[in-house]
């Protein structure tokens, strides 16, 4: 299984791509997600200190989901 670490820049690029594919402006996405325009701008720019709760709100507003997998348990 191919796993890689998601970076803030990756998340920002994904948000921008999905937003544009849905023909939404940044301010429209901000309103739909209940966050400020500045937050969406910063998130799309890959700001590493973006608040996770707000980022999840933006993803939900876009209809995206996030999967987190646990590391395999060690057999020691």
pLDDT at 1: 43
More confident residue, 30 or 2: 30
Taking 60 as the threshold, does the pLDDT of residue 2 lie above it? no
8-62, which class in CATH? mainly alpha
- What is the residue-wise DSSP string for 27-57? HHHHHHHTS-HHHHHHHHTT-TT--HHHHHH
pLDDT tens digits, one per residue of 9-57:
999 999 999 999 999 999 999 999 999 999 999 999 999 999 999 999 9
Over 80: is that where the pLDDT of 70 sits? Answer: yes
């Amino acid at each position: 299984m191919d796993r890689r670490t998601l970076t803030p820049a990756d998340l920002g690029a994904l948000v921008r791509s999905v937003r544009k594919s849905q023909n939404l402006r940044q301010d429209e996405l901000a309103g739909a997600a209940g966050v400020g325009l500045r937050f969406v701008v910063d998130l799309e720019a890959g700001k590493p200190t973006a608040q996770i709760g707000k980022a999840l709100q933006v993803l939900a507003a876009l209809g995206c989901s996030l999967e987190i997998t646990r590391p395999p348990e060690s057999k020691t």
